[in-house]
Amino acid sequence: MQEEERILNQKEQNIMENNIEPYGNNNTQSAFEKEEAYLRAEKKVKAIVGFYWHLASYVIINIFLIILISSNGVKLFSFGTFSTAFFWGIGLAFHFIGVFGPNFFFGKNWEERKINELMDKDKKHWE
């Protein structure tokens, strides 16, 4: 019995000295979850900023290229004039999907919202 108390006191002393909190502490768990949520949000914000920089460079560089190509005697509305913008635009579209997800336009609740909207319209029609 005395040995168990001595071991328990020693564990408590080690916890106090090393500032270690036991696993059952809810504050530690919620702090970990908050930090994890912050890191996920920070990663998402960096991805969004990266996409907007990509978009800005796409617009600026392609305007410059279109002006440069069309000023060299190539017809303005030919495929060669807009080919860089076209293929880079495909890459930009994939970057958009990678950052914002494929459900950006038709989000998770889109079907439910659309059904409710149509039901409301139908309800007003019958009133």
| Per-residue three-class SS string for 33-73 | HHHHHHHHHHHHHHHHHHHHHHHHHHHHHHHHHHHHHHHCC
Report the C-alpha gap between 118 and 66 in whole angstroms.
Answer: 44
Using one digit for the tens of pLDDT, what is the confidence trace for 45-57?
999 999 999 999 9
Which is more confidently placed, 34 or 21? Answer: 34
For 6, how many CA atoms within 13 A lie in the half-sphere containing its CB?
Answer: 3
- Domains held by the chain: number: 1
Which is more confidently placed, 3 or 95? Answer: 95
Using one digit for the tens of pLDDT, what is the confidence trace for 16-30?
555 555 555 556 678
pLDDT, position 53: 97
Domain span at residue 7 reads 2-126
Compute the average pLDDT of residues 113-124: 79
